[in-house]
Amino acid sequence: MSERLVSFETDGDLGIVTLRRPEKFNALDIPMLRALEAALDTAEAADSVRVVLLCGEGKGFCAGGDVEAWSQMSAADFQVQWVRYGHRVFDRLARLRQPTIAVLSGHALGGGLELAAATDFRVAEAQVKLGFPETSIGVVPGWSGTQRAVRRFGAQTVRRMALGGELFVAAEALVLGIVDRVVETGNAFSEARAWAGKIAERGPLATEAAKLMIAVAEGEESAAATEALASGFIALTGDLKAGVDAFKAKQKPAFSRS
């Protein structure tokens, strides 16, 4: 992964993914999306990591998609290389096995808010603004701002941002359920880290299973989550061992339903 664009580091049982393009307020382009995807893959593969924090370097959490990166694309490339690929990366974040917390120490606008919406929890500093300003430049939210954001924040709240152009400060966003906690400027990371520590004390497998079940109920995913939960259960049974042992020995398995 590109350490310049997105970094991943561990601190005990905590994983920290950081967007590192502060000169552009961490606006996303294709190389940055690729680096983010790689960082998420690394985070999920880290057995010791119980909770993942998503941070932005500098004054902004994420200013959304870099207009210069997509404005010159053809319609076909915009659809496939930009919108569909962005969806894939954001879905990767939403479906990470570990609980995730977005650390909003700066504004989260457009794709930046869509990115934050893909995490399980959001901690915002008091000065932060959040919204979907895309229609002001003639485009629409393209990375699930009208889908996942509606499921998580409610249709009317998204209407106010995407249609009405409202930007909410952190305190307003807390009331509307867009963020989960609001802290003073400079304290978002420490608050998120402390919260992550409490989550990490809970049973890791139970926490991962609970996250999957909530995702199914929310409509985030169903087929993969259902099969993952069922397969995980089956993997603990004697029947699986009997079947695999018999397959290797080229014999008929003797299942015991144990």
The catalytic site residues sit at 114, 134
Q: Residue 84 carries which DSSP code? A: I
Q: At what angle do helices 223-234 and 204-218 cross, to 10 degrees?
A: 150
Contact in structure between 150 and 167 (CB atoms under 8 Å) = no
- The sheet with strand 121-125 has its strands ordered as 6-11, 14-19, 51-56, 100-104, 121-125, 181-183
Planar angle of CA 152, 41, 150, nearest 5 degrees: 10
Whether the CA torsion 135, 140, 146, 149 is positive or negative: it is negative
Listed in sequence order, the residues at least 6 apart from 24 whose beta carbon sits closer than 8 Å to its beta carbon are 63, 66
Quickly tell me which residue has 């879905």 as its tokens: 91
